[in-house]
């Protein structure tokens, strides 16, 4: 007789079946229940913030101004929840304030913007409270149409410079480009 043992003599049949079942189970990938699968698919991937433009957007209203008259447009700075931008004026000279600038177009003159009141907040990265905007910050842009301005609708290019921060750090500043639709009547 040989001294080598076969599976039949080394292990009882019940043990062999258990070992094979365990090996098979570890080689197959089971699906999670349907409720779990849908929650996995619905889980959002965290956004990577690289610059202030990732969390700040600019929206503007259209405006109509009779030739030879004044009016204003509202430019809204929308800041994502959990972030803020420095107010204008900024608390300290070294901080980058939110700043709206309008280009020149024939027949329309933009004057100095009127910034909303700031919120005062204390953050981990600053020794003193800072003047900031959160959520929506509406900036009023005074406009004047010259008496000889051509009638019609035209885009007035604008830029908004911002630096967004969260409660711990600030992100590289960004200049956001947009326009205000101005109708001269």
* DSSP string for 91-132: SSTTS---EEEE--BTTEEE---BPPPPEEE--TT-SS-EEE
What pLDDT, on a 0 to 100 scale, did the predictor assign at position 124?
81
In degrees, rounded to 5, the angle at the alpha carbon of residue 150 between the alpha carbons of residues 109 and 138 is 40
Shared domain check, 138 and 160: yes
Mean pLDDT of the chain: 82
Which contacts qualify for 129-132: CB closer than 8 Å, 24 or more apart?
A: 129/91, 130/86, 130/90, 130/91, 130/95, 131/86, 131/87, 131/89, 131/90, 131/91, 132/84, 132/85, 132/86, 132/87, 132/165
Shared domain check, 74 and 150: yes
Task: Provide the pairing of β-strand 152-162 with 174-184.
Answer: antiparallel
pLDDT in tens, 62-71: 999 999 999 9
Which structural domain range is residue 99 located in? 52-184
pLDDT in tens, 32-47: 444 444 444 444 545 6
| Residue 179, domain member (yes or no) | yes
The count of domains in the chain is 2
Are 171 and 111 within 8 A, CB to CB? no
* Residue 120 pLDDT > 70: yes
The two tokens of residue 142 are 């005074």
52 secondary structure, DSSP code = G
Shared domain check, 22 and 68: no
| Residue 1, domain member (yes or no) | no
What's the predicted TM-score (pTM) here? 0.73
| Residue 158, domain member (yes or no) | yes
Shared domain check, 145 and 60: yes
The two tokens of residue 108 are 């329309």
- Residue 125: band (very low, low, confident or very high) from pLDDT cuts 50, 70, 90: confident
Percent of all residues in the chain with a pLDDT value above 90, rounded to a whole number: 66
| Residue 2, domain member (yes or no) | no
pLDDT in tens, 45-91: 456 878 899 999 999 989 999 999 999 999 999 999 999 999 999 99
What pLDDT, on a 0 to 100 scale, did the predictor assign at position 30?
42
Tokens 């809204």: give the residue. Answer: 76
């Amino acid at each position: 007789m040989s001294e080598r043992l076969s599976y039949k003599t080394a292990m009882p049949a019940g043990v062999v079946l258990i070992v094979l079942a365990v090996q098979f189970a570890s080689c197959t990938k089971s699906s999670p229940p349907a409720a779990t699968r849908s929650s996995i698919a619905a889980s959002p991937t965290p956004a990577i913030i690289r610059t202030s433009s990732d969390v700040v957007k600019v929206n503007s209203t259209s405006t109509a101004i009779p030739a030879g008259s004044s009016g204003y447009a509202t430019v809204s700075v929308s800041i994502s929840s959990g972030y803020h931008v420095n107010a204008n004026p900024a608390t300290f000279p070294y901080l980058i304030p939110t700043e709206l600038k309008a280009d020149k177009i024939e027949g329309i003159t933009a004057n100095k913007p009127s910034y909303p009141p700031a919120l005062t907040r204390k953050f981990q990265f600053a020794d003193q409270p800072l003047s900031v905007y959160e959520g929506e910050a509406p900036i009023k842009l005074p406009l004047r149409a010259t008496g000889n301005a051509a009638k019609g609708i035209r885009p007035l290019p604008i830029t908004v410079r911002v630096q967004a921060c969260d409660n711990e750090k600030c992100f590289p500043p960004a200049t956001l480009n947009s326009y205000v639709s101005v109708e001269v009547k």
